[in-house]
Amino acid sequence: MKFLTLTERAQLQNLLTHKTVLKTADAELRSALLTNCGLKEYFSLIQLDKPQLAFVTILCQQLSEVHNTVDGFPRLGLVIFLEYLSAIDISLSPEDQGFITHVIRKWEQQQFSSQKTPQEKIANLLAQERQKYSTVASGEPPIKVDRDVIIDYDLEAPMAKFRQEVGYEGAFVFAIGYRHLIILEHYIIERLRRELRGKTRRQNQQLEIRLYRKSIATPADIEREFLNKYQFADFTELFNTQGNTDMMLIIWNYDIPEKLMKPLAQDFWTTIARSISPCLKNQSRCFVIVWANVGKRPLPGVNGCTTLSTPKKFKPCDLLPWFRSQLKMGGIREEQIQHYLRRLENQDGELIGTYQEMNQIIHELQGSSRLYG
C-alpha cells in the first residue's frame, strides 16, 4: 500500500475490519470472496482462518504485492478486491464507498503518471467521457436517490405468498434459494424484512447462521451453531427481552446436499417450533426462519415450510419504464436518464447483472465518484 499515506492505510484497514462484510466473514466466506474476484491463486499467501484484524492486515499487505490482468491490463490485487467488495457490499455508507473510490483512484493516478502508454491514455479519455454522467464530476450536488428503491421492484408473486403465510404472531418458516448470494442477501431477504415490517407494523431484527457440511450432522448441531454465536443457553432466551420486535433468522446453507439438508431442516423446525411457541403466544411477536440455499434451488418438502420462488430474469419492457419513473422523481436530467437506461438495457434482464447495474447507478447518484459501465 505504498501509494497511500500512513493515515490512509490505517483508515482502509479499519474500514475493512469493522464496516464491510468482512467483519462477520468466516474462512469459507473469505475464500468465496477472493475466489469470486479472481484472486483464488493467492490463497497460499493469506491464512483465511486468522482473527479479523490479523486477516485484514495480512490481506492488505499481500494483495498490495500482486497483480492480475484485467481487460488486458495489469491491476493491483488490492484494487481488484476493493472494486469487487464495493460492488457487492451495499451496506457500505456513501462516505465509505467514497473512501474506497479514493483509494482506487489514487492507485490509478499513480499508474497513469508513471506509465503513460497509448492504451492508458485512451482509457483515461473514456473515463473522462463517462464523467459527463456523474453528478460529482459535473460539479452538481449529489442527488439523494434512495438505493432501497431497488428492493421494491418486482418479486410480487413470492412476496404475496409470504404475506399470505406469515401471521401477526407466532413462528413461521420459509425457504429460498438462488445461485448468487448478493441476490439472496441484499434483494430477497431485505424485501422479506420490509414485507414483514409492513404487515406487522413492528420493527424486526435479522439474525443469521451459516451451515457447512463439515460441521453439521444433526439438528442439534444447527441449534448449537445459533446458541454459540449469540451466546444463549437455549432458544427461549431469545424472547426474554422486552418489547415486541419481530425476529428473522436466516439459515445459510452453502454445501449441504438437499437429501441431507431436508431431514435436518425438518427435525430442527419441529423441535424449535415446539419450544418457542409458548414464548410467542399473546406476545405480539413473530419468529421467522428462512432457509437460504446459496447456489441451489430452495429446500423443498419440509412440512410447514413455504417455498418462495425467485424470478429467473427481469423483464426489460417493465423494468425500464419503472426505473425511468424513479429517476424522474429524483429530478435527474433526461440526458442522464437515457444513459442509465441504456446501461440497464444492455444487461438483457439478467437478474444479477441488472441488479448490480442498478445498484451502481444509485451509488453514482448518491455522490460516489466511482465510474461504472
Residue 129 has a pLDDT of 46
Query: Does 290 share its domain with 228?
Result: yes
Decide if 370 is inside a domain: no
Q: What is the CATH number of the domain that holds 174?
A: 3.40.50
Domain that holds residue 19: 6-115
- Of 253, 287, 307, the residue at which a domain comes to its end is 307
Decide if 163 is inside a domain: yes
Over residues 200-223, mean pLDDT: 93
Grid cell 457490499 is found at 89
Number of structural domains in the chain: 2
The H-or-E segment that residue 145 falls in is: none
Task: Flag whether pLDDT at 119 surpasses 70.
Answer: no
- Of 251, 284, 307, the residue at which a domain comes to its end is 307
Query: Does 111 share its domain with 159?
Result: no
DSSP secondary structure of 283-314: TT-EEEEEEEEETSPPPP--TTEEE----SB-
Query: Does 233 share its domain with 303?
Result: yes
Decide if 327 is inside a domain: no
CA distance 141 to 145: 12
Residue 114 has a pLDDT of 57
Query: Does 295 share its domain with 172?
Result: yes
Query: Does 57 share its domain with 194?
Result: no
Mean pLDDT, the chain, integer: 85
Residue 369 has a pLDDT of 41
- Cβ–Cβ < 8 Å for 145, 327: yes
Task: Flag whether pLDDT at 356 surpasses 70.
Answer: yes
Query: Does 105 share its domain with 171?
Result: no
Instruction: Tell me the pLDDT tens digit for each residue of 37-64.
Output: 888 888 788 888 888 888 899 999 999 9
Residue 95 has a pLDDT of 79
Over residues 295-316, mean pLDDT: 92
Query: Does 195 share its domain with 98?
Result: no
Decide if 347 is inside a domain: no
Decide if 71 is inside a domain: yes
- Of 307, 342, 363, the residue at which a domain comes to its end is 307
Residue 287 has a pLDDT of 96
DSSP state of 143: P
Decide if 204 is inside a domain: yes
The b/e string for 307-332 (b: 16+ C-beta within 10 A; e otherwise) is bbebbeebebeebbeebbebbeebeb
Is the model's pTM score more than 0.75? Answer: no
Task: Flag whether pLDDT at 137 surpasses 60.
Answer: no
Instruction: Tell me the pLDDT tens digit for each residue of 80-102.
Output: 999 888 888 877 887 788 889 88
Decide if 97 is inside a domain: yes
